[in-house]
Structure 1
Amino acid sequence: MSSLSNNSFTQPSEFHLMCLPGARSHQLGLSVVLALLLIMALGANALLLLTIQLVESLHQPMYYLISLLSLLDLVLCLTVIPKVLAIFWLGWWSISFAGCFLQMLTLNTFLAMESSTFLVMAYDRYVAICHPLRYSSIVTDCFVAKAAVFIVARNFLLLTPVPILSAQLNYCGNTTIRNCLCGNLSVSQLSCGNITLNKLYQFVVAWTLLGSDLVLIILSYTFILHAVLRLKAEGTATKALSTCGSHLILILFFSTILLVLVLTNVLKERVHADIPILLNVLHYIIPAALNPIVYGVRTKEIKEGIHSVLRKVRG
């Protein structure tokens, strides 16, 4: 315990994560599933990144965006899943005060960055299908670099205050977090101070960011669908929809699981307390495991690139 300057309160040196207390009998089975998903996510994303790096034909803006998405997925799943497995297998329930807020910062910012990346990918597909003749002059390597800087800067600047506000609260009693990770509200509600500002800031900023991204993504795909339906050349519409299909599947999954998570928290009196916690954990591992697989299966160029890399490794 270390003294907090300028007042009589003391801040805890660590918190304790109460991870799925109602599922003790199922923790071994759940931990095996999480471990397998983690191995799948690490292997698939590493292979995808290696393929895009080694195959020269994939050195294009769209594939750079896919690489960025893979990197974000890796950071998110590595921030959550190893700690959850350490809790289940080794009983390491504690997390340091600084480590908790560092995890909170990483989860908040990188999740928002993933949403922003989906938005830039939707814009990429919009330009490719609605303005194909101008695509190479609009979506360039420079555009991707600027988009990446924008994604990082916007989300870090707007979401960094979330853990800072929570860290400055006074934690004078209970240090047991009813979650598998350091979510802002899960932690701040342990404070004996007023958390209205924390709740309001997270609600306004997080949902402004995610909400605006989702609205713009839907708008982009509405324009894409309108343009595709006007294509009369045989097979052109099917090819265009197939190109966008993988992106749209992942975006819908990303948005749907967030909506389910919100609804389960709103209806928490009617839902078992462990369900929102479990959904929160799965939200950081399932997309990381599925994204590279969906791209590998649905994107011909990536599939061929993966085959080429694997042949080189075997040879």
Structure 2
Amino acid sequence: MAAFNLTPSNPSTFILLGVPGLQDAHVWISIPFSMFYISSLLGNLMLLFVIGKEQTLHQPMYLLLCLLALTDIATSTSLIPKALCIFWFNSQDITVGGCLTQMFLINVGASMHSAILVTMAFDRYVAICNPLRYTTILTNARIAKLGLVCLLRAILLILPLPLLLSQQPFCANRIIPHTYCDHIVVAKMSCGDTTVSSMYALVTVIVIMGSDLTLIALSYRFIVRAVLRISSKKAHQKAFNTCTAHLCVILISYPIFLFSSLTHRFGQAIAPHVHIILANLYYLLPPVLNPIVYGIKTKELREKVEKYISSLSSPGVTNVKSA
């Protein structure tokens, strides 16, 4: 209970409690947090390195995978290191500006992640439904433009969230029962009327998730229809195999996010620490699993990764061969 009696030493700061009710277990909770974070960094950096080095992988699908990896690294880095500082060093203070910035970066990352999955669905649609025009429709320059559109959409939709809250007066008791600055929790710290901010946040989630899931569903509807027109069963399997990794990433990302959002908004009977752990899982699991899924399911990428791993594990053999 002592943690709940804390008061910010500076009126322009908040206090992040971490996981309320489990403060005594913070060190133990930090173990999976740090393991997941390190694993996500290693996996995504490996993908970026391999795709960057291999000219044969400079294709739309792999460039989109690079965008996904960069987004995952940036989003998890915006919240996990601070959470670990809370767990290890009891460093709970965060400025109001830092809190709003963290909130902005986390939500931009989530929106960007969703937009990239939509673009990947479009990539698979073109590859299967218009294979002869694939290289002309999805050029590397067009992929760069689509990535920029995804980023601009995320910034424009999310920017009003911290701006609206920055205009609000915050109460004296600025204790946030969370590991990071979640919009809903920070809004509750305000002494003013946050109806507009809360409604905008809810509408933004519905618009982003609703539109993105609809576009993904439409893409796969056309993909399934095109595949079913093919008479060869082997061609069926080959076509669906090209979509397996993307479908797995979708099944990893969206259910966790939707379940966490719904329980946070409407699951008042659920214990607070369950809300917080679920919210963190969305930023912990996908960055770890996405590189693994694509590494396993994509043969060309898997072979290149194995080549670099084997060269790193046996540098002496590699040097003898090169000599």
**Structure 1 segments of 4 or more deviating over 6 A?**
none
CA distance in 2, matches of 1:249, 1:208: 23
TM norm structure 1: 0.93
Counterpart of 1:230 in structure 2 is 229
SS in 2 for 1:75: helix
Residue pairs, 1:96-175, within 5 angstroms: 96-175=95-174
TM norm structure 2: 0.91
CA distance in 2, matches of 1:12, 1:122: 47
- Whichever residue aligns with residue 250 of structure 2, its letter is I
Counterpart of 2:305 in structure 1 is 306
Q: Sort the Cα spacing of 1:205 and 1:188 in 2 relative to 1 into closer, same or farther, 3 A.
A: same
CA distance in 1, matches of 2:268, 2:110: 27
Counterpart of 1:8 in structure 2 is none
- Whichever residue aligns with residue 161 of structure 1, its letter is P
Counterpart of 1:270 in structure 2 is 269
Q: Conserved in 2, the CA contact under 8 Å of 1:159 and 1:206?
A: no
- Whichever residue aligns with residue 233 of structure 1, its letter is S
TM-superposed deviation, 1:141: 0.8
TM-superposed deviation, 1:309: 2.2
SS in 2 for 1:173: coil
Counterpart of 1:77 in structure 2 is 76
- Whichever residue aligns with residue 221 of structure 1, its letter is Y
SS in 2 for 1:169: coil
CA distance in 2, matches of 1:12, 1:243: 54
- Whichever residue aligns with residue 51 of structure 2, its letter is I
Q: Conserved in 1, the CA contact under 8 Å of 2:118 and 2:215?
A: yes
CA-to-aligned-CA distance 1:153-198 (integer Å, 9 cap, x gap):
1111121111111111101321001211111121111111000010
Residue pairs, 1:248-263, within 5 angstroms: 248-263=247-262
Q: Conserved in 1, the CA contact under 8 Å of 2:256 and 2:281?
A: no
Out of 217-226 and 112-121, give the one that drifted further.
217-226
TM-superposed deviation, 1:267: 4.1
TM-superposed deviation, 1:94: 1.0
Out of 177-186 and 259-268, give the one that drifted further.
259-268
Counterpart of 2:238 in structure 1 is 239
CA distance in 2, matches of 1:79, 1:147: 24
CA distance in 1, matches of 2:26, 2:151: 35
- Whichever residue aligns with residue 238 of structure 2, its letter is K
Residue pairs, 1:44-55, within 5 angstroms: 44-55=43-54
CA distance in 2, matches of 1:123, 1:193: 43
Q: Conserved in 1, the CA contact under 8 Å of 2:17 and 2:86?
A: no
CA-to-aligned-CA distance 1:292-314 (integer Å, 9 cap, x gap):
01100110011011122234433
Q: Conserved in 2, the CA contact under 8 Å of 1:80 and 1:281?
A: no
TM-superposed deviation, 1:12: 2.9
5+ unaligned residues in a row in structure 2: which ranges? 1-9, 319-323
Q: Conserved in 2, the CA contact under 8 Å of 1:119 and 1:217?
A: yes
CA distance in 2, matches of 1:259, 1:246: 20
Q: Conserved in 2, the CA contact under 8 Å of 1:15 and 1:175?
A: yes
Q: Conserved in 1, the CA contact under 8 Å of 2:171 and 2:190?
A: yes
Counterpart of 1:201 in structure 2 is 200
Q: Conserved in 2, the CA contact under 8 Å of 1:34 and 1:81?
A: yes
TM-superposed deviation, 1:41: 0.4
TM-superposed deviation, 1:241: 1.1
- Whichever residue aligns with residue 230 of structure 2, its letter is L
Out of 270-279 and 117-126, give the one that drifted further.
270-279
**How many residues are matched?**
305
Counterpart of 2:92 in structure 1 is 93
Q: Conserved in 2, the CA contact under 8 Å of 1:79 and 1:103?
A: yes
SS in 2 for 1:174: coil
Counterpart of 2:7 in structure 1 is none
TM-superposed deviation, 1:129: 0.6
Residue pairs, 1:32-47, within 5 angstroms: 32-47=31-46
TM-superposed deviation, 1:29: 2.3
CA-to-aligned-CA distance 1:192-225 (integer Å, 9 cap, x gap):
1000010111111232122101110111112112
CA distance in 1, matches of 2:17, 2:165: 19
SS in 2 for 1:179: coil
5+ unaligned residues in a row in structure 1: which ranges? 1-10
Q: Conserved in 1, the CA contact under 8 Å of 2:249 and 2:290?
A: yes
